[in-house]
Amino acid sequence: MRIVAAMRISAPILPLLLCAMLMLPVSASAQTTTEQEAADTPGLVDRYTNAAQELVNESMGYLGIRYRFGGSSPETGLDCSGLVQAVFRNALGLNLPRTAHEMATQGDKVQRQELKPGDLVFFNTMRRAFSHVGIYLGEGRFVHSPSKGGSVRVENMASAYWAKRFNGARRLLDEDGGGETNAAITR
């Protein structure tokens, strides 16, 4: 009977104890190998994140620019690959190939569930693989220059149209965020 009474008294305190335990620092011996490796390479994640953020920020500056087939200048209009080229050149100083299909051969292949901001996403919009490209922004969204009559905009990859046409993705940023993963990309 005393045990039951003690449990009733401490039951309201249990959530407070759990919260306090969660706030305690984790000892070094409890770190996983990945956490320890991250601690041993300070700034690694920050460098990747900074380069990806530069790409995202730069791409937002092109919102509303009209689509133009073959366009490679914000002043006269951009097509999908012209947009990607301009963003990577102006944000990171990287020169990419001209077409979406050529861009699809660069960098490292990435699975859809592993996408990170700054990755290139490819779609089949013209009944051929890798005919359209955009830049992944995070949270299932990408920026692209869609088609005649449109302008650079952000869309959701989960929408029926884009989900059905998704071809794959490539990561051009290396893990230290310092640039390209493929020698064909030049600075």
pLDDT tens digits, 79-90: 999 999 999 999
Domain-located, residue 182: no
Q: Kindly report the three-state secondary structure assignment for every residue of the chain.
A: CHHHHHHHHHHHHHHHHHHHHHHCCCCHHHCCHHHHHHHHCCCHHHHHHHHHHHHHHHHHCCCCCEECCCCEECCCEECHHHHHHHHHHHHHCCECCCCHHHHCCCCEEECHHHCCCCCEEEECCCCCCCCEEEEEEECCEEEECCCCCCECEEEECCCHHHHHHEEEEEECCCCCCCCCCCCCCEC
State residue 69's pLDDT score.
96
Q: Does residue 167 fall inside a structural domain?
A: yes
Residues 59 and 109 in one domain: yes
Within 8 A by CB and 6+ apart from 84, the residues are: 96, 100, 103, 120, 133, 134, 135
> Whole-prediction pTM value?
0.72
Residue 113 has pLDDT above 80, yes or no: yes
Same domain flag for 50 and 29? no
Greater pLDDT, 109 or 2? 109
34 CB contacts (<8 Å, ≥6 apart)?
A: none
Which range has highest mean pLDDT (33-37, 46-50, 141-145)? 141-145
**Contacts of residue 135, Cβ cutoff 8 Å, sequence gap at least 6:** 55, 56, 59, 83, 84, 87, 118, 119, 120, 121, 142, 143, 144
Average pLDDT (109-122) is 97
Instruction: Output the domain CATH number for residue 132.
Output: 3.90.1720.10
The pLDDT of residue 130 is 96
Same domain, 48 and 19: no
Average per-residue pLDDT in the chain? 79
For residues 59 and 46, the answer to whether their CB atoms sit within 8 Å is no
With 50 as the cut, is the pLDDT of residue 23 above it? no
Residue bearing the bigger pLDDT, 181 or 21:
181
Indicate whether 80 and 130 sit together in one domain.
yes
Residues 118 and 157 in one domain: yes
Residues 96 and 58 reside in one and the same domain: yes
Asked if the structure places residue 64 within a domain, the reply is yes
In this prediction, residue 49 carries a pLDDT of: 85
What mean pLDDT comes out for the span 97-120? 97
**Total domain count for the chain?**
2
Please give the positions annotated as active site: 80, 132, 144
Expressed as residue numbers, the domain containing 129 is: 43-171
Q: What is the pLDDT of residue 43?
A: 53
User: Residues 150, 58: one domain?
Assistant: yes
If asked whether residues 62 and 128 sit together in one domain, one would say yes
User: Does one domain contain both 15 and 72?
Assistant: no
> In the chain, pLDDT over 70 holds for what percent of residues?
68
Whether 150 is in a domain gets the answer: yes
Question: Is a pLDDT exceeding 80 seen at residue 35?
Answer: no
What average pLDDT does this structure show over 83-102? 97
Domain assignment present for residue 75? The answer is yes
106 and 147 part of one domain:
yes
- Same structural domain for residues 72 and 114? yes
pLDDT of residue 6: 39
